[in-house]
Structure 1
């Protein structure tokens, strides 16, 4: 579990900046711990879920903000 958290923070730091990644560390730790306690033990899946979670929090996955209007 800790390896997944470290990978999420490292990768998210590359996508945004290291300061934003450090600020999000507590949130992603809680989220990944919840997934782990629910039965997910695969580090790769935990890493991907953690990254998706952070990207949703910062609005990066919003297609409208990205400029996609569907037209």
Structure 2
């Protein structure tokens, strides 16, 4: 689980230039999320990593097509 969290944060920090406080907040949130997945039975480090990255991207709105400027036209 820790390997997945470390990989998530390394990748996420490369994607976004964020403050140390924001990065620590993101780590706390993704740790709780990954722990929930792990306790539910997901043990694959790669799946945990992908799910954690997806979770953080949804939290910061970077997967929101409207915020990204997509209008559908």
Q: TM-score, normalised by structure 1?
A: 0.93
* Structure 2 Cα separation of the partners of residues 11 and 21 of structure 1: 12
Deviation of 1:17 (Å): 2.4
Aligned counterparts, 1:27-46, within 5 A: 27-46=29-48
Q: Is the 8 A contact 1:9 1:25 kept in 2?
A: yes
Partner of 1:24: 26
For structure 2, which runs of at least 5 residues remain unmatched after alignment?
none
* Structure 2 Cα separation of the partners of residues 16 and 56 of structure 1: 14
Q: Aligned residue pairs: how many?
A: 71
